[in-house]
A and B are shown apart, each in its own frame.
Chain A
Amino acid sequence: MLTPWLVGFILMWMIPMFISIYYSLTDFNLLNTPSFVGIDNYIRAFTKDKSFYQSLKVTFIYVLVLVPLRLAFALFVAMLLNKKHKGLGLYRTLYYVPSIIGGSIAVSVVWKQIFGNQGVIMSLLNAVGISQTTSLLGNTTTSLGVIILMGVWQFGSSMLIFLSALKQIPYSLYESAQVDGARPAKMFTKITLPMLTPTIFFNLILQIINGFRVFTESYIITDGGPLDSTLSYVLYLYRRAFNYFDMGYSCALAWILVAIVGIFTIVLFKTQGSWVHYEAGRE
């Protein structure tokens, strides 16, 4: 049943992955014939490349701050929208819009406008007496914060996944709890949360993977600046591959990233037994 799909999967994904592993072991600028250099590219990343460490730092902060924030917010809004109110379809749509317009020029202009030097946020800060000389985007200590905020703003897809999971919780569970006189807070911790753990787990893994691959936000808003303070790992890898003609090295960076994300994922998979609640269980 799976075989035809596997063939296509091997062709479109597995072989390209192997080729990129091979590239990571070569000196390859896209225009030459790759020449084998062993693990030199990996050594170069860890020993000679300041930008590698800078982009790694930026990306780690991004992931560690963004993921919990975005998930908490997405779950909160999903719970609100799971009640019976009028116009819920409208709100769901409104909240999903940021995820749709993602990396468009409109988003880029508007975010730079709001957080820029003459933006709304600057005026607000000045009005409440926090006098700022540089804008939040132009300040090397706060620029990443703006990028993270933008990530939170795009909580729509996590919210959708939570919503569809909330729909799957049998209503009878709540009814019988109500009969037992359980309060809303208790229903949340005893029914909703445990029933949601597979989805939380899913969202967590997904957001970590996506978080480490953050590219568009720093590409369109700050282009990695000021002074590399928002230089995300994949933005750096992208520059290496295509602007600096360093594809071999870039592939090495990509596989270092896969290793890091892979470790996170495996650790999460190993711990899921202790907190993720499956009806069917997983061997």
Chain B
Amino acid sequence: MSQRMKRIMAAALAGTVALSAGACKTAEPEQEEASQKVTEADLKTAAEDGDAKEVTIKIAWWGGQTRHEQTQQVLDLYSELHPNVKFVASPSGWDGYFEKLSTQTASGAMPDIVQMDYLYLTTYAKNNSVADLQEFIDNGTIDVSGIDEKLLNTGQIDDKMTGLVLSTSMLSFGYNPDVLAEAGVEEPTADWTWSDFIEMSKKVHEATGKYGPAMDTALDTNGFNYWVRQHGQSLFSEDNKSLGYTDDKICEDYFTMWNSLMEEGVLPNPDEYAQIATLGQEAGPVVTGDAAMIMEWNNYASKLSSVNDKIKMVTPPMSDDSDAKGLWMKPGMFFSVAETSQVKQEAAEFINWFINSKEANDIMMAERGTPVSSEIRDYMISSGKLGEQQKAMFEGVDEAAAICGDTPAPDPVGMSEINEAFKNAANSVYYGQATAEDAAAAFREEANSILERNNK
């Protein structure tokens, strides 16, 4: 189609478009709330005058029942402490949260503060939908002194602080000590290697007939990312336009390792795992004592402590022949502020309080994951309110800091599509429809085309 034709068609469509295009300018201010029509300058003078103006902050998050209740309490408490601040809260389940958020953003109605996932942060940042919070860090509104710098910088995209990290998590292995004891296998320690892991898994299976590890190894690329980093390479290239590792052997070996465990019945195959997963993680085989280990995030034991309080956590296996640091501090979730927000200063103040205040964290009890502030972590450990598993998790974060490598750059745009491609490549091996070698090549081809399309 020629440029001219395109222009003509565009003009012809302009009538219908007028409605939508106007709504899509991301910087269009919210008109309906008169109380929000307050410029930052106004606010500062108001604060200096001592009587702060009334503001309404719209805030959205996803979570389960506990999180909704706790967050509502935190908001109420904040309004009590700052009578000029009111909240309009939109709690949501995980399902549909991002569908709603993107629709709202499309029509310029993004809430002021949104809970953000790493998976999508880059997309929102690259489209200038979220505000740069650096100025609020610089002017002292948000105190980040207690946050590990590498972790803090996971929110930094194109030199802008696009999200403030709320919690941290790490790839870990959870294990059921009873099952290991039953098989006569010693509990793993932080210096275990992949070959230790395989040996242990097989022993468990031979001795008890149970699964060694039980998890979906094709779920997403996090485990694979760890593996690649252990080979001294990175999953994505610096410009995010292609995969970062050069040798497909890395990927092939990864698929082969899991596939041979499946063939021996040590690890459930995707079909068996689908049946296991039907019942939810509360009834997972590690919890019920039908499997020994699982690759999970470090909050696994604490999350499930009410159904099984014996599960322990260990850092994932080390490489057998490389010192490259594979582990990294993964940001759990973020608070981002809408670029269109008229109450950025107040939003920043709230975020600061949310992260650094004892009273807020006393209510939330680390339900969103390990708090990022080391002071809050220390405070909570010493307060004695934490459960056994939570305490171990908090301490684990400080210990693991020593073996963590650089935090990888934020996920590229198109990450969920990459995960889908990875899932299909891995499953094609597990279903015997492709060799590990072919699947590794197919994943590279697919991933590169996704990356190229999304990261122009």
Contacts and interface: CB of A to CB of B under 8 A. Distances in A.
Contact of B127 (A25, A32, A244): A32
A116 B26 contact: no
Contacts of A226: 270-271, 274, 427, 431
Given A33-B24, A243-B416, A117 B123 contact: no
A113 interface: yes
Choose among A21, A38, A228 the residue with the greatest number of B CB atoms under 10 Å from its CB. A38
B13 A227 contact: no
A125 to B, nearest CB: 14
Given A33-B21, A245-B123, A112 B278 contact: yes
A245 B102 contact: yes
A227 B17 contact: no
B428 A244 contact: no
A38 B9 contact: yes
A34 interface: yes
A13 interface: no
B129 A112 contact: no
B1 interface: yes
A117 B275 contact: yes
B123 A29 contact: yes
Contacts of A113: 275, 278
Interface in A123-156: 134-135, 137-140
Nearest to A222: B274
Given A18-B16, A32-B127, A242 B99 contact: yes
Contacts of A109: 278-279
B21 A30 contact: no
Interface in B116-162: 123-124, 127, 129
A101 interface: no
A112 B274 contact: yes
Given A25-B9, A32-B127, A117-B274, A38 B414 contact: no
Contact of B271 (A22, A32, A138): A138
Interface in B390-428: 413-414, 416-417, 420, 423-424, 427-428
B291 to A, nearest CB: 15
A30 B20 CA distance: 11
Chain B contact surface mostly: helix
B437 to A, nearest CB: 18
A173 interface: no
A30 B19 contact: no
Interface in B7-21: 9-10, 13, 16-17, 19-21
B82 interface: no
B321 interface: no
A39 B1 contact: yes
Interface in A28-42: 29-34, 36-39
Interface in B272-293: 272, 274-275, 278-279
A36 to B, nearest CB: 5
B109 to A, nearest CB: 12
A15 interface: yes
Given A32-B127, A140-B431, A116 B275 contact: yes
B433 A31 contact: no
Interface size class of A (residues with CB under 8 A): 35 or more
A25 B270 contact: no
A19 B22 CA distance: 12
Given A30-B105, A116-B275, A138-B270, A243 B13 contact: no
A194 interface: no
B381 interface: no
B98 interface: yes
A22 B16 contact: yes
B427 A19 contact: no
A38 B5 contact: yes
A247 B99 CA distance: 11
A116 B269 CA distance: 13
B271 A135 contact: yes
A15 B16 contact: yes
Contacts of A245: 102, 123, 413
A22 B272 contact: no
Nearest to A118: B275
Given A31-B106, A244-B416, 17 more contacts: A19-B17, A22-B16, A30-B105, A31-B26, A34-B20, A36-B6, A38-B5, A112-B274, A113-B278, A134-B271, A138-B274, A139-B271, A227-B424, A242-B99, A242-B102, A243-B416, A245-B102
12 contacts: A15-B19, A31-B105, A31-B123, A36-B13, A39-B1, A112-B278, A113-B275, A134-B271, A135-B275, A226-B270, A227-B433, A242-B99
Interface of A: 15, 18-19, 21-23, 25, 29-34, 36-39, 109, 112-113, 116-119, 134-135, 137-140, 225-228, 239, 242-245, 247
